[in-house]
Structure 1
Amino acid sequence: MTLDQMQDGLPFVIDTLHSQGELRRRLVDMGFIAGAEGTVLRRAPLGGPIELRIGRSRLALRLTEAQLVSVIPSHA
């Protein structure tokens, strides 16, 4: 399952990043590493950005970028 498919309010654990180069480096710098826990807080309408909490950070990610992050739903 990819991050864009997660329901709002449900926790997840990051599994894999399917990106390379500068985008991968930027995602890792923002805390998108395997095993990191997060929650989708809300999403903008019409395919806009997704607001997330990764660890203690709150950030927004474009829908196309969220499609590159594999996650595992969590019950934490």
Structure 2
Amino acid sequence: GREQTLRTLAEGQLFGEVALFAAAPRSADAVAEGDVALFVIAGDRLEHFVRTNPTLAVDLIRNLSQCVRDAEERAR
């Protein structure tokens, strides 16, 4: 496939959550433009954190909503 920048992440942002919640492989790769620290979390652990931390759940919903808005913009 062709290479396309879908979004650029800032410090503290996350990616891959759609694949975790959908129990599906990632549909895109991530490429770092510089030095990064990466934290990997398994889907079952993320689900536990979401169930026990409402603030995290709201942050994830906001992140997913932004992903949907961005996808809609790209589709126009």
More strand by share: 1
Which TM-score bucket, shorter chain as reference?
under 0.3
TM-score by length of 2: 0.25
Task: Give me the TM-score of the superposition, normalised by structure 1.
Answer: 0.25
Bigger share in helix: 2
Give 1 or 2 for the bigger CA radius of gyration: 2
